[in-house]
Amino acid sequence: MKILFLGDIMGRSGREAVAKHLPALKTRHQPDFTLANAENAAAGYGLTQKIASELLGLGIDVLTNGNHVWDQKEFLSTIGGDKRCIRPCNFPKDTPGAGHILLKNDKGKRLLVINAMCRLFMDALDDPFATVEALVAEHPLGKAADGIFLDIHGEASSEKQGMANYLDGRVTAVIGTHTHVPTADTRVLPKGTAYQTDTGMCGDYDSVIGMKKDQAVFRFLRKYSFERLAPAEGEGTVCGAVVESDDATGLAKNMTAVCVGGVLGAR
């Protein structure tokens, strides 16, 4: 099984970069499933149903989210309308939407996609380790699912690494999102789980984590601002990863980083 995952889609620049580069990426890698984090897709703040439909229409199978999932209030009432949009599974019990989805493609391959959010330097949520453990126990690899993919959305690299090592050998991939900066630790862990601390964003890297540089720097210098940070609008880079798993075990055989377009892809 091959899984293509795209990091946080940041504003219009990120959406346009994905629309531009995704067809070639899918032709090159021939993924069985394509996933993306879209919590910043609506002008950097959350997701709308219209934008979700546009992204899904590009051939993305599932959109994961994170701490900005409810920034666009309309999404609170519409997230349940399309099960391909999921939110962190460790949100409180009665939160709208679902934190996981079991996909099945036309070849009969089954992929469990889980979205979870860390707690260090983040919102106070339910324990992500216990919540993910329950979902993995309910859908064991090789029995209920041929692959298990976790988007772990968080600030602290230690918490993401802890989750990956906790799940090593029991899931196909654990990939981090949220910091918008791609890390250089793309690898397969000793027991067969693919891992990257953060896959980075799809957006304009001539920025401060996707936001306009001048606004962000002003805030650091003055400690105040009367403007809401706005996404940078230059050419976007698509950052992500491709994971290939062993059909016999569901564990990862290899993982490679994706980086195309914009200021990073031109290196």
Q: Which residues are catalytic?
A: 68
Which residue's entry shows tokens 């698509």? Answer: 238
In the three-class reduction of DSSP (H, G, I as helix; E, B as strand; rest coil), residue 135 is classed as: helix
How far apart (Å, rounded) are the C-alpha atoms in residues 44 and 13?
10
How far apart (Å, rounded) are the C-alpha atoms in residues 246 and 50?
36
Q: What angle do CA 182, 183, 188 make, to 5 degrees?
A: 120
Which H or E run includes 21?
A: helix 11-29
> Is-contact 144 101, C-beta < 8 A?
no
* Closest of 153, 68, 168, 66 to residue 118, by C-alpha: 153
Crossing angle of helices 49-57 and 11-29, in 10° steps, is 20
Q: Which residues pair with residue 4 across a beta bridge?
A: 34, 242
**Phi and psi at residue 208, to the nearest 5°:** -110, 100
